[in-house]
């Protein structure tokens, strides 16, 4: 008996010893693919899709930053800073300091009293440019999102040539290359158009510390756009091209203005982006006729009214874009007493009387008085959800929280391209041609406004039509800050800026001023975020990373 | 293996046979309760002649006529009796403490007297009889070397346990939990039944790492379950009823007065004088109200220096006590039945317990937990024992998913709703409104009843702990033991959101409502978690007594243990969601319009290793131990080499030396001890494997680079610890008072190198950071235990225990040289992890206390010319014109929020069958960031807004003063909203009457047939708290449970409960 038991115990020990052989330690992560999984035809397509819509537009997942978010993904915050600084929207909540960075230094009310901001926005933004301030550092976001996008695209480029494809491999490779170069160009355009300096980083993961000026970033952006055009030029088989692109562009986005762009349409989109790069990175005052001619040349081969463009749409499930919190528009819809963003009175005053787009999109059912600081925040206007708007149709509608309703313009659009034509023509004294483009956009969006071409002949009045149409027609397309910058609106009046005159300001107690002057005084190009600088200090021969303006 | 066994058998058989005797003594050894004491040694005094008692306590020994028998057993006082034909001996428990037997950390039963490391033992009867019957709750304050905090009051919520310092930043501080010698990893300590606990041993340090390996670096808590004892079968039944209410020791409340614009009659009006009323959507914003009038909204000039917040809510707007509307007093009912006994070679003990705990949140359901445990043992033949220990636990709660443990958002929202909203108001359809906004206040106001109307769910967990043990005492020298344990947990959670599209409030505000996907259409989430953990441990222990066994004239006893330890943990999770539910009341997946799986994940982890431990004792005087352990881990793959760690320790009982004899009557015990141990903490299962993440976008699968990169070059984290200590017994007097005291003190110090944590990468790399062996940490601490026998008479007994624990951890270095910013799990509050500073420090703006506040560059904030504009009010500097408090605009560290020390004072009195005990817990020097208060400051909701202050000779409840604390920094009114400010960083020290218990033993006064026990017990828990903290409960923390650094934020966590309990214990 004893021996039996001993044998049992001994056997147990030995058995256990056997079962614990080292082979059992070979536990790979069974849940996720490895980088090698991406180097197949289906793998690199999956990588191409994820690079843009996940790493790019949903890439920030660190709770230090996301913990204070009121929305989700890039399009609720990146473009919101543009519209806060461009005085299209305002915010009352302090999350991500959206309540402070868009407040002008002062306004002079109708009685001539100056109402000052005790916390000048430029200083607040810079005070928060510290890695330890995490979510409150406005400068971090656009930088991080765009470099995440850029890096993910570098990942595609790093393996595309070594990947084996079925069918027409050249077409498929070039489609993926065009995709990667296009989005790299997009990322560099955003960096160069907003930051005082940037990094040209074409490696996967590894970075460098040779910061270059914003102008050099734009040059690099255009170079990537040209590489995309070259790749698109080398796409002989449309079927295989469409097959890849149908994977890369999320299915829910392949409706409306979004869809499978032909190589020609895509090149049109690129030309519009290149025209934008030129237009928005100089002030109107410093644009030469050569510049305007270059803008015109690019815009003339830019997006047409029938071209498809890059759009975002929400879907009920597996959506990369939230219908209710994924865009500036979604977070502005509703009673301003409880929305994240509130419509600016200065946007509303840019609608011309009789513009159907105004009735489609706005009501004045709710008064919002901002009593918590933010001297220009109060508003009488509510942005409507076009799905629930009682007014005719959704033509020209700009916002909806209903799943799949809202069409987000990610890059260029027909309207933007047409208005660049308009502006170049007006500045080149082709007033009627220019205003025809303005009229085209108004017609396209169903404004119901009378034609101006041939009616208005004064260059200044023509330009005013253009200015208003850029504000109204390009609402929520991330361009308002660029415009305010190039028009001199955001520059401190004491430093030669124009500010904004004759404008509507509703005071914190509800007094409506109609002839106020606002001095915004914001930084034109942002300092490089401390989140980058403190971990990646600039090399000795780097361009300055801090804007010397004060 | 077999050879060794054969060899050992030969040694046994080779021992000389005993000489013939002239008398046979037989008898039985029992303890003071009459239970058999097995394994006791019975020796003939002055000889080596002896025997051990069998499992029923009996022995037979031939001795010389007139001999004296010496009966000894670990944990009992040794007795000497004259030999006789029948000798029945009752052994008294050795009350001189330090004599308890300890297993944890040494591997085999060892007297505490011969223990070189600090191991604390808490008997089952010394644990607090909490109404939750949770083992974790019962340990609060009882373990001298530990900080165990009840960080929230939701039934079933886990506790924060910190034994010795912070070793690991990602792994947290949760110690290894053993139940009867086998690790339990899936089941939380709080889930175990208190009724079946025999005793608990706690090893705080790494000195035990040789036995437990890498997972033991945070210390070990071992629970021993009750076993049946020889004698009549015992039936015990206990029942109790408790009533709990939430603690609000800081009197947190909403302001009972306001500073809104009013008309001459004190009606709250809009800017045009329209008397405000609620709107059909339940809000108080601009628009048409239920009286049909168009109103423009409430006016609150919060930064106007003249706004006085002391107007009464006595007209159109009334004050509703939201805490009263949210909370209730809750019942807890406990029933427990135990049957145990032992006969011959078999013993059994079974316990069935049911615990029903209501939530103190009104209409929020209850947690029901049923525990069944069975501990059965048998001795198959002499020396060979088999034991099976089973624990089955079924827990289910139907708490609202928004009011469950770890969720503070809804509580926050309820407190952030202006008090003039009635939570019980319903709209025309009979629904509760969601958003209770009254711009510019109540911006984050949401009705808790909305969540109760539209969301429901459940969370059910099945736990299985099965432990099979075989031990074979081969002979006097060799013990063999094999243990196998499986610990399985299955948790299923369901959250259902009803369709909210018809809710008037949502429609009116274009609100998305609540739910997965896009909110208001309704949705279902099902979450399943499975953990299967296996632990197999085989040991061989060789005991050699050189003097007895080999007749060598040195009193050396050697114990050698070799062990082989195998652990495998497989964790799985599976999440399914359904989107879109109809308006009809059927709520299952099939009713949803689309379904999706968001997680299908498995994480296996395997580690195994061998260890050797050798101890040498020199009589009763001194001993040394040493050992090493070598572990393989799947974290490093199959090609890895094992990681080896060493430990060593020693004790020296000075009181056993000859010269001490004269002192022995005063100081019978004086021991010095010290130890050193190493432990490695392995990386997470997949930390070293570089992968791509996946998700579905639209209809296609997408690959993407994870934001935090794993690192194939990670090394194991290494923790090294040294401790020195002393155990001392002093006989203070020969009288009834203060007869003796025991004192135990330990100083420890530890360092952790290569601690794995994510370091930040510059964003241009394309990711947020990467894992690396980045931190070096160090900690030290002191623990004291004092036991005092205050009085001992025949009828009256008073014992006093004081536990003291001080510990502190700091960051020595970070590999990148860069500070790391971490957000609290509470969602707000940034910690900065910085080399050279204590772990867990918050950074933020500082309040000015005088006009001489300097900036970080040393320059003054306030120029001499402006000094006159400021005044110090209640110790803080105020601008007399704006009435705003002045704050820096640069961030500063607030210092270590962790307690300087924690103490517990435990008193036990007994008088003729009446027992009284109470425990006072004192946590000193801890700090909490009162985030909840800061949020309630934002919209003027906090009670402080009604408090009057005097500025420049004027006294009023100045709203501008309080609002500035939320919104301002120097030179910027409204420029620092949401900022961390030391104004809200509060001393959270507290003294708490943790437990008060009065027991009355009926049978002491009257015998009742069949009854062996009939006891009434009245118990109170957390009855009284003394604190300066102004939040609800200074003990709560909203950070991640058991986090190494996230312990300093209070963000609307459900406070602990004050409980009154009446109980009845019956024994048959």
Is residue A9 very low, low, confident or very high in pLDDT (cuts 50, 70, 90)? low
Task: Point out the residue among B381, B435, B634 whose CB comes nearest to the CB of A27.
Answer: B634
**pLDDT of residue B74 exceeding 80:** no
> In this model, does residue B10 exceed pLDDT 50?
no
Closest approach of chain A CAs to the CA of B126, in angstroms? 37
Distance (Å) of CA A173 to CA A169, A236, A313, A342, B482: 6, 12, 27, 45, 61
Q: State what percent of residues in chain A have pLDDT above 70.
A: 95
**Residue B403 in this model has a pLDDT that exceeds 50:** yes
Q: Which of B76, B65, B71, B64 is nearest to B87 (CA)?
A: B71
Q: Identify the pLDDT of residue B571.
A: 97
**Whose CA is closest to A221, among A312, A149, A156?**
A149
Flag whether pLDDT at B14 surpasses 60. Answer: no
List residues bridging with B387 in a β-sheet. B377, B469
| Structure tokens, A501 | 């005159």
| 291-310 in chain B: CB under 8 A from chain A | 296-297, 299-303
**Partner residue facing B823 (CB), from A9, A118, A134:** A134
* Confidence at residue A356, expressed as pLDDT on a 0 to 100 scale: 94
What pLDDT digit, counting tens, does each position of B758-771 carry? Answer: 999 999 999 999 99
Q: Is A115 on the interface with B (CB under 8 A)?
A: no
Which residue out of A28, A46, A364 would a mutagenesis test of the B interface target, given it has the greatest number of B Cβ atoms within 10 Å?
A46
Distance from CA of B780 to the nearest CA of A (A): 28
Which positions 94-113 of A are in contact with B (Cβ < 8 Å)?
Answer: 94-95, 99-100
CA of A36: how far to CAs of A52, A289, A331, B264, in Å? 20, 52, 40, 76
Report the phi/psi class of residue A415: left, alpha or beta, with left for phi > 0 and alpha for psi in -120 to 50: alpha
Quote the pLDDT of residue B733: 86
- Report DSSP letters for A251-291, one per residue: GGGSSTTBS---HHHHHHHHHHHHHHHHHHTS-GGG--HHH
Within 589-648 of B, beta carbons closer than 8 Å to A belong to 593-596, 600-606, 608, 632-634, 636-638, 640
Partners of B594 on chain A (C-beta within 8 Å) are 316-317
pLDDT higher than threshold 90 for residue B489: yes
* Residues, chain B: 1068
**Does pLDDT of B18 surpass 50?**
no
The 3-state secondary structure of A188-228 reads HHHHHCCECEEECCCCCCCCCCCEEEHHHHHHHHHHHHHHH
Distances in Å between the Cα of B443 and the Cα atoms of A96, B320, B560, B706 are 17, 17, 68, 35
In this complex, the residue of B508, B690, B974 whose CB is nearest that of residue A34 is: B690
**Model pLDDT for residues B1046-1062, shown as the tens digit of each residue:** 889 999 889 999 999 99
CB contact under 8 A, B594 and A63: no
Which tops the pLDDT comparison, B685 or B829?
Answer: B685
pLDDT range class, residue B210, cuts 50, 70, 90? low
Residue B35, pLDDT score:
67
pLDDT: which is higher, B732 or A430: A430
CB count in 10 Å sphere of residue A59: 28
Does pLDDT of B697 surpass 80? yes
Listed in sequence order, the residues at least 6 apart from B383 whose beta carbon sits closer than 8 Å to its beta carbon are: B472, B473, B474, B475
Min Cα separation A74/chain B (Å) = 15
B693 touches chain A (CB under 8 A): yes
Residue A218: name the closest of A234, A252, A195, A246 by CA: A195
pLDDT band at B170 (very low <50, low <70, confident <90, very high): confident
Name the β-bridge partners of B68: B82
Q: Assess whether pLDDT exceeds 90 at residue B383.
A: no
Mean pLDDT lowest among A535-539, B65-69, B770-774, B959-963: B65-69
pLDDT at B821: 84
| Burial letters B407-427, b for 16+ CB under 10 A, else e | bbebbbbbbbbbbbbbbeeeb
Distance CA B559, CA B624 (A): 11
Give residue A262's pLDDT: 96
Q: Is A20 on the interface with B (CB under 8 A)?
A: yes
Distance, in Å, from the CA atom of A210 to the CA atom of A206, rounded to the nearest integer, reads 13
pLDDT of residue B825: 78
Question: Taking CB atoms and an 8 Å limit, are B765 and A205 in contact across chains?
Answer: yes
Substitution target from A255, A335, A336 for chain B, most B beta carbons within 10 A: A335
Query: Comparing A172-181, B812-821, B933-942, B1055-1064, which segment has the lowest mean pLDDT?
Result: B812-821
Compute the average pLDDT of residues B995-1003: 93
* CA–CA min distance A351, chain B (Å): 24
The arithmetic mean of pLDDT across residues A388-403, rounded, is 69
CA B719 to chain centre: 22
Q: List b or e across A169-203, with b for residues whose CB sees 16 or more CB atoms inside 10 angstroms.
A: eebbbbbbbbbbbbbbbbbbbbbbbbbbbbbbbbe
User: Residue A144 and residue B619: Cα distance in Å, rounded?
Assistant: 68
How many CB atoms neighbour CB B311 within 10 A?
19
> Per mean pLDDT, which range of A284-298, B12-26, B543-557, B659-673 is the poorest?
B12-26
**What pLDDT shows up at residue B8?**
37
In this predicted structure, what is the pLDDT of residue A252?
A: 95
Residue A366's pLDDT is 86
Q: Is the pLDDT of residue B313 over 60?
A: yes
* DSSP calls for A304-346: -TT--B-EE---SSS-SS-TTTSSHHHHHBB-TTT-SEEE-HH
* Residue B206: predicted pLDDT: 66
B13 touches chain A (CB under 8 A): no
Q: How confident is the model at residue B31 (pLDDT cuts 50, 70, 90)?
A: confident
Distance (Å, whole) CA A368 – CA B271: 12
Please indicate whether residue B190 or residue B431 has the higher confidence score (pLDDT): B431
For residue B5, what pLDDT band results from cuts at 50, 70 and 90? very low
Given an 8 Å threshold on Cβ–Cβ distance, is A132 in contact with B891?
yes
Which chain B positions have a beta carbon within 8 Å of A95's beta carbon?
978
CB atoms within 10 A of CB B1002: 16
**Could you tell me the pLDDT band of residue A525, with boundaries at 50, 70 and 90?**
very high
| Average pLDDT in chain B | 90
Confirm if B1058 and B1021 have CB atoms less than 8 A apart.
Answer: yes
Interface contact flag, A132 B686, Cβ < 8 Å: no
CB contact under 8 A, B439 and A368: yes
Nearest Cβ partner for B766 among A34, A134, A205:
A205
% pLDDT > 70, chain B: 96
In three-state secondary structure terms, B20 is coil
pLDDT for A390 equals 43
CA distance B480 to B491: 36
With an 8 Å Cβ cutoff, is B9 touching chain A? Answer: no
- What is the 3-class SS of A518-535, one letter each residue? EECCCCCCECCCHHHHCC
Q: What is the pLDDT of residues A199-218, one digit of tens each?
A: 999 999 899 999 999 999 99
Query: Rounded to whole angstroms, how far apart are CA atoms B760 and B818?
Result: 8
> Is there a contact between A315 and B698 if contact means CB atoms under 8 Å apart?
yes
What's the token pair of residue B649? 């320790």
Chain B residue closest in CA terms to A12: B482
Distance of residue A336 Cα from the nearest chain B Cα, in angstroms: 9
Q: Average of pLDDT values for A504-523?
A: 96
Q: State pLDDT tens for residues B151-160.
A: 999 998 889 9
Distance between CA atoms of residues B162 and B153, nearest Å? 19
Burial of B66 (C-beta count, 10 Å sphere; 0-12/13-18/19+): exposed
A540 in contact with B, Cβ within 8 Å? no
* Tens of pLDDT, residues B733-755: 888 899 889 999 999 999 999 99
Confidence of residue B17 (pLDDT cuts 50, 70, 90): very low
Closest CA–CA distance from residue A207 to any residue of chain B (Å): 5
Q: Bridge-partner residues for B885, per DSSP?
A: B878
- Distance separating alpha carbons of residues B402 and B457, to the nearest angstrom: 10
Structure confidence at residue B97 (pLDDT) = 41
Q: What CA–CA distance (Å, rounded) separates B639 from A3?
A: 38
Number of residues in chain A: 550
CB contact under 8 A, A27 and B967: no
* Nearest Cβ partner for B827 among A67, A133, A534: A67
- Residue B209, pLDDT above cutoff 80: no
Flag whether residue B711 sits within 8 Å of chain A, measured between CB atoms: no
CA distance B392 to B488: 10
- Judged against a pLDDT cut of 60, whether residue B570 lies above it is answered with yes
Partner A, chain B 220-259, Cβ-Cβ below 8 Å: none
pTM assigned to the model: 0.89
- Do B946 and B255 form a contact (C-beta atoms < 8 A)? yes
ipTM associated with this complex: 0.93
């Amino acid at each position: 008996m004893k021996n039996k038991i001993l044998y049992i115990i001994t056997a147990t020990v030995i058995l256990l010893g056997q079962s614990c052989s080292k082979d059992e330690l070979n536990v790979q992560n069974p849940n996720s693919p490895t980088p090698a999984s991406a180097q197949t035809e289906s793998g690199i397509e999956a990588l191409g899709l994820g690079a843009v819509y996940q790493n790019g537009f949903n890439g920030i997942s660190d709770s230090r930053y996301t913990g204070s978010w009121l929305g989700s993904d890039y399009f609720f915050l990146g473009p919101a800073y543009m519209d806060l600084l461009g005085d299209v929207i305002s915010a009352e909540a302090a999350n991500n300091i959206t309540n402070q960075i868009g407040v002008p230094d002062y306004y002079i009310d109708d009685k001539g009293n100056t109402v000052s901001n005790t916390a000048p926005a430029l200083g607040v933004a810079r005070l928060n440019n510290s890695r330890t301030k995490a979510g409150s550092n406005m400068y971090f976001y656009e930088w991080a999102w765009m470099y995440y996008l850029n890096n993910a695209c570098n990942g595609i480029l790093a393996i595309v040539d070594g990947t084996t494809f079925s069918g027409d491999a050249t077409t498929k490779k070039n489609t993926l290359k065009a995709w990667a170069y296009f989005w790299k160009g997009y990322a560099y355009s955003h960096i160069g158009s907003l930051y005082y300096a940037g990094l040209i980083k074409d490696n996967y993961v590894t970075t460098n510390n040779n910061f270059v000026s914003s102008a050099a970033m734009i040059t690099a952006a255009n170079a990537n756009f040209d590489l995309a055009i070259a790749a698109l030029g080398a796409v002989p088989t449309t079927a295989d091209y469409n097959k890849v692109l149908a994977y890369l562009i999320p299915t829910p986005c392949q409706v409306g203005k979004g869809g499978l762009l032909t190589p020609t349409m895509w090149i049109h989109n690129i030309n519009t982006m290149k025209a934008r790069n030129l237009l928005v990175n100089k002030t109107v005052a410093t644009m030469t006729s050569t510049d305007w001619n270059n803008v015109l040349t690019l815009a003339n081969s830019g997006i047409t009214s029938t071209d498809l463009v890059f759009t975002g749409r929400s879907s009920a499930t597996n959506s990369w874009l939230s219908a209710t919190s994924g865009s500036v528009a979604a977070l502005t819809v509703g009673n301003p007493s409880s929305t994240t963003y509130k419509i600016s009175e200065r946007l509303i005053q840019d609608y011309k009387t009789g513009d159907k787009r105004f009735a489609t999109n706005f009501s004045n059912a709710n008064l919002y008085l901002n009593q918590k600081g933010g001297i220009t925040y109060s508003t009488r206007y509510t942005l409507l959800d076009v799905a629930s708007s009682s007014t005719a149709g959704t033509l020209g509608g700009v916002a909806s929280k209903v799943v799949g309703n809202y069409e987000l313009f990610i890059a260029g659009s027909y309207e933007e391209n047409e208005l660049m034509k308009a502006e170049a023509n007006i500045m080149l004294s082709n007033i009627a041609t220019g205003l025809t483009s303005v009229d085209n956009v108004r017609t396209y969006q169903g404004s119901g406004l009378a034609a101006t071409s041939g009616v208005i002949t004064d260059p200044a009045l023509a330009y005013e039509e253009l200015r208003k149409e850029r504000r109204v027609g390009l609402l929520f397309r991330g361009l308002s800050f660029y415009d305010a910058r190039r028009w001199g609106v955001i520059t401190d009046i004491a430093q030669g800026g124009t500010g904004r005159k004759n404008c509507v300001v509703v005071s914190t107690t509800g007094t409506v001023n109609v002839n106020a002057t606002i001095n915004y005084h914001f930084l034109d190009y942002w300092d490089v975020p401390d989140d980058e600088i403190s971990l990646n200090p600039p090399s000795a021969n780097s361009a300055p990373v801090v804007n010397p303006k004060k | 293996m077999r050879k060794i066994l054969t060899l050992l058998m030969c040694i046994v058989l080779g021992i000389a046979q005993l000489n013939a005797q002239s008398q046979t003594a037989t008898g039985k050894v029992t303890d003071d309760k009459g239970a058999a004491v097995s394994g006791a040694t019975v020796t003939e005094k002055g000889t080596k002649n002896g025997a051990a008692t069998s499992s029923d306590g009996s022995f037979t020994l031939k001795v010389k006529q007139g001999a004296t028998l010496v009966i000894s057993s670990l944990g009992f006082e040794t007795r000497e009796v004259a030999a006789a034909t029948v000798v029945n001996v009752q052994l008294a428990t050795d009350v001189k403490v330090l004599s308890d037997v300890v297993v944890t950390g040494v591997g085999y039963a060892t007297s505490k007297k011969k223990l070189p490391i600090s191991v604390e033992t808490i008997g089952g009867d010394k644990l607090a009889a909490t109404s939750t019957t949770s083992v974790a709750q019962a340990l609060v304050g009882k373990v001298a070397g530990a900080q165990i905090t009840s960080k929230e009051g939701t039934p079933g919520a886990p506790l924060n346990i910190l034994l010795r310092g912070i070793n690991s930043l990602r792994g947290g501080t949760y110690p290894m939990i053993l139940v009867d010698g086998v690790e339990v990893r899936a089941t939380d300590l709080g889930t175990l039944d208190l009724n079946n606990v025999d005793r608990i041993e706690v090893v705080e340090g790494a000195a035990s790492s040789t036995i437990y390996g890498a997972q033991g670096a945070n210390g070990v808590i071992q629970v021993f379950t009750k076993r049946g004892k020889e004698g009549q079968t015992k039936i015990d039944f206990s029942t109790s009823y408790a009533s709990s209410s939430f603690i609000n020791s800081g009197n947190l409340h909403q302001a009972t007065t306001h500073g809104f614009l009013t008309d001459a009659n004190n009606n709250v009006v809009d800017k045009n004088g329209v008397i405000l009323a609620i709107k059909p959507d339940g809000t108080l914003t601009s628009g048409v109200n239920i009286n049909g009038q168009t109103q423009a909204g409430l006016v609150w000039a919060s930064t106007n220096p003249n706004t006085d917040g002391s107007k009464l809510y006595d007209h159109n707007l009334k004050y509703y006590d939201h805490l009263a509307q949210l909370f209730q007093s809750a019942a807890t009912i406990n029933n427990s039945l135990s049957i145990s006994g032992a006969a011959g070679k078999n013993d059994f003990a079974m316990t069935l317990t049911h615990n029903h705990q209501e939530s103190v949140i009104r209409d929020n359901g209850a947690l029901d937990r049923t525990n069944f445990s069975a501990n059965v043992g048998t001795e198959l033949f002499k020396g060979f024992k088999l034991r099976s220990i089973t624990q089955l636990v079924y827990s289910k709660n139907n708490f609202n998913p928004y009011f469950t443990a770890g969720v503070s958002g809804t509580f926050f929202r309820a407190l952030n709703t202006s008090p003039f909203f009635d939570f019980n108001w319903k709209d025309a359809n009979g629904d509760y409104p969601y958003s209770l906004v009254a711009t510019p206040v109540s911006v984050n106001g949401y009705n808790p009843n909305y969540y109760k109307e539209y969301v429901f769910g459940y969370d059910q967990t099945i736990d299985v702990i099965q432990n099979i043990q075989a031990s074979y005492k081969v002979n006097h020298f060799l013990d063999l033991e094999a243990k196998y344990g499986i610990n399985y947990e299955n948790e299923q959670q369901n959250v259902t959101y009803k369709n909210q599209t018809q809710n008037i409030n949502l429609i009116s505000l274009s609100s998305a409502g609540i739910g997965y996907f896009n909110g208001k259409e309704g949705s279902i989430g099902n979450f399943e978690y499975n953990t299967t953990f296996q632990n197999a441990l085989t040991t061989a222990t060789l005991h050699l007594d050189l003097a007895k066994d080999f007749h060598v004239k040195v009193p050396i006893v050697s114990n050698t243990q070799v062990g082989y330890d195998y652990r495998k943990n497989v964790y799985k999770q599976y999440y399914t969601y359904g989107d879109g539910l109809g308006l009809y009341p059927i709520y299952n997946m099939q009713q949803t319009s689309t379904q999706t799986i968001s997680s299908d994940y498995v994480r296996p982890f395997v580690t195994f290793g061998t260890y050797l431990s050798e101890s040498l004792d020199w009589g009763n005087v001194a001993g040394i131990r040493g050992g090493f352990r070598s572990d393989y881990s799947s974290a490093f793959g199959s090609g890895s080499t094992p990681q080896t760690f060493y430990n060593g320790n020693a004790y020296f009982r000075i009181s056993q030396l000859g010269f001490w004899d004269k002192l022995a009557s005063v100081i019978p015990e004086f021991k010095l001890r010290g130890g050193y141990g190493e432990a490695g903490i392995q990386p997470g299962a997949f930390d070293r494997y570089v992968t791509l993440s996946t998700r579905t976008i639209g209809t296609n699968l997408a690959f993407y680079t994870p934001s935090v990169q794993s690192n194939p070059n990670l090394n194991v984290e290494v923790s090294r610890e040294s401790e020195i200590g002393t155990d001392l017994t002093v006989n203070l007097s020969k009288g009834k008072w203060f007869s003796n005291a025991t004192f135990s003190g330990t100083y420890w110090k530890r360092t952790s190198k290569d601690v794995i944590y994510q370091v930040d990468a510059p964003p241009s790399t394309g990711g947020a950071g990467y894992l690396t062996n980045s931190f070096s940490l160090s900690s030290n601490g002191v623990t004291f235990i004092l036991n005092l026998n205050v009085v001992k008479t025949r009828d009256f007994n008073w014992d006093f225990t004081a536990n003291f624990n001080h510990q502190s951890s700091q960051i020595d270095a970070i590999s990148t040289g860069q500070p790391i910013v971490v957000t609290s799990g509470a969602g707000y509050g940034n910690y900065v992890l910085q080399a050279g500073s204590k772990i867990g420090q918050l950074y933020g703006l500082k309040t000015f206390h005088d006009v001489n506040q300097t900036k970080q560059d040393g320059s003054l904030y306030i120029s001499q010319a402006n000094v006159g504009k400021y005044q110090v009010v209640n110790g803080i500097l105020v601008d007399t014109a704006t009435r705003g408090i002045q704050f820096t605009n640069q961030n500063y560290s607030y210092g270590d929020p962790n307690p300087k020390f924690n103490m517990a004072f435990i008193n036990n009195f007994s008088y003729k069958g009446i027992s009284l005990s109470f425990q006072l817990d004192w946590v000193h020097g801890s700090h909490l960031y009162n985030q909840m208060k800061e949020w309630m400051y934002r919209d003027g909701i906090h009670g402080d807004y009604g408090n009057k202050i005097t500025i420049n000779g004027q006294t009023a409840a100045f709203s501008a003063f309080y609002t500035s604390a939320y919104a301002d920094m120097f030179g910027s009114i409204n420029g620092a909203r949401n900022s961390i400010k030391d104004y809200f960083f509060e001393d959270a020290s507290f003294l708490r009457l943790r437990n008060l218990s009065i027991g009355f033993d009926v049978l002491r006064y009257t015998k009742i047939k069949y009854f062996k026990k009939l006891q009434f017990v009245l118990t109170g828990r957390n009855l009284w708290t003394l604190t300066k903290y102004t939040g609800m409960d200074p003990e709560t923390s909203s950070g991640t449970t058991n986090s190494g650094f996230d312990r300093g934020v209070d963000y609307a966590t459900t406070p602990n409960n004050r409980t009154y309990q009446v109980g009845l214990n019956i024994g048959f």
